[in-house]
Structure 1
Amino acid sequence: MKKKPVLGITMGDPAGCGPELTIKALENKNIYEICNPIVVGDINMMEDAIRVVRAKDITLHKIADVKEAKFQYGVIDVYHLDLVDMSKHEYGKVSVMAGEAAFQCVKTVIELAMEKKIDVTVTNALNKEAINLAGHHYSGHTEIYAALTGTSNYSMMLAHDDLRVVHVSTHVSLREACDRVKKQRVYDVIKLAHDACKSLGIENPKVGVAGLNPHSGENGIFGTEEKNEIEPAIKMAQEEGLNVDGPVPPDTIFSKAQGGWYDIVVAMYHDQGHIPLKVVGFVYDKKAKKWASISGINVTLGLPIIRSSVDHGTAFEYAGQGHANEISLLNAIEYGVQLAINKK
């Protein structure tokens, strides 16, 4: 690629692990070989993150415009937003200040992308309680992006290596999630899943659709959502020439996807999709009593801009200690670059 994509990386909740993970990730020289990263956040907070991870060879470059960025390894460009009073800052604590800071970083990175000043947005974790305390009533990044870009048809995709999952619903109660399994929504998500795979360079995506009920309803014995809503949606997509299979029992579809049967799985609700992804991506070493790996990414589909994200929370219990694992952020950066290249 002649021109490397410009990435805007939010620092996330300043009380969490986002700032230190960002420094750790950008200590990798190969990141600068594939993209031009900018951190959107508070430069004072990022200075403290350098202290936390003991990154002696990293310096910060404060900018107020993307055009001012150096894009030079060893010098991290920080699009400075005056958000954090370091005299009041505490790691691992929910606060209005931290919630407001996290929200403003997301808002700014979206604006930069919508104005085409950056090619990709990459988000570190925020704390939902904190942003709500700050007066921003969203259930997560996905909903913020949808609202600020004016997007009505969207979905969350999680990925770990070749295992990909997209969701019919996410941050709602399980009772409400069942009510949201409707033909049109299932069809729309199948289309989003298909298009996402195409954007990743998969020529003829194989989409597996999970059932909602045990055994996919067993022909109506355990529930009728499959017969009344999911099967008609699959038929609609198949009639358009999409390679779609299902509804497949939820307890086997992810093993099949791992074995190469499907390029992506349409899950009916949050935990149905999240649990298998995190089982393979989050590995805890019980002997060492620490996380050996926290990998995988989160992409919001259907947006007019590219958004890729870490697939973990703020890790308040580890924040400020320098132990947090940056693999998921590296994955998110690499995925965002891939999406930008294929888009071009």
Structure 2
Amino acid sequence: MSSNLPFSIIESKYEISTLPTGTVVDISKYLGLLDKISLCSAIPGWKWLLLTPRVQKEFQRRITEWTWADKRLCETVFKSQKPSVDDLCDMVRYQHLQSESFSKRCPQTDGTILRCLVLGPAVDRPGIMSGFYGNLVNLVDVQDERQVFSNPPGSISNGIPIRIASKTESGSYDILMDVLTLHARVKSRRAIETSRIHDSFIINEGNLSEKAYSMVKSSDIVLYFVTTQTDQADWSEIRFELSRISQTLSSDQTLYIIGVCDEDTESGNYFSKVVEIARNLNVADCDTLKQSNDCWRIWVLKRRGFDCINLAEIFQWASYDCTSTRDSITQNSSMFSFLYDLIISPFKRH
């Protein structure tokens, strides 16, 4: 009999937004976090579901596993003392879209060799980076037949050629990189002199030295390593050094700040370490990282003993960011040329 009722009556009687609270909770148990967010966006009356302890724990579990943050995530984290549920939803959706775009990236098959510069206080701290370089050796391209990135400006050695197997939804390919290290001082002085801005190969009279400037400018990717146990006085010098590096970078270069922990970080709250680094860098004020294209991320290096678990992933993301930025610049340039030819050129011919 009810099947013969007008649709409007059925709709008003069985409107989904008026379902009992217990029914809504039962439905949500079969949904992932992203599905819950989408559902509550479609039905605002169910937004209370996102504030329940169980779903809040889902947010916490999801976010603590993140190993990076970019400008947008940092802005959301630092805009208030505690992110609102809307902020949490925005962060989860954004991080998911970024990861999805990364997984769908187009394979690089043109043999492009990316030049990667490694520097930072962790690089000059004895012992802390031994795991990194040990893992880097495992990535060395033993079948390399290409021209190594030899003697870049300001360099005293060749880069280490590495090959990283990468897989996307579009196919598999290899990322080719040359990795070069820039130390702040000679090995015999690194343990006793730790200043980043005094008597350093990198900073000279308040600016990048000629050697550091040349090496930064000639790199596609800059990896700046810090330790999460750094004292506040040292963070001041790190902010100064990073500000000079970021001001030197052009719009088609990529900067990663990578936090290295003294202890194993195979499990734990990775994102809290990322946020700690971002807070110490004062990225909310945008004074330290002044890149025009804002192509930077803050990472935490996951460690298990001497193994750097996500090192290959960091290189893959760096390659993705670098090529994506350049593709965007090329597309913008092409669009400008198209509009110029369409709008300006006809007037110039008359």
Q: Same fold (TM over 0.5)?
A: no
Short-chain TM bin: 0.3 to 0.5
What TM-score, normalized by structure 2, do the two folds share? 0.34
Structure of greater Rg: 2
Q: Which has the larger share of helix?
A: 2
Larger relative contact order (CA 8 Å, sep ≥ 6): 1
What TM-score, normalized by structure 1, do the two folds share? 0.34
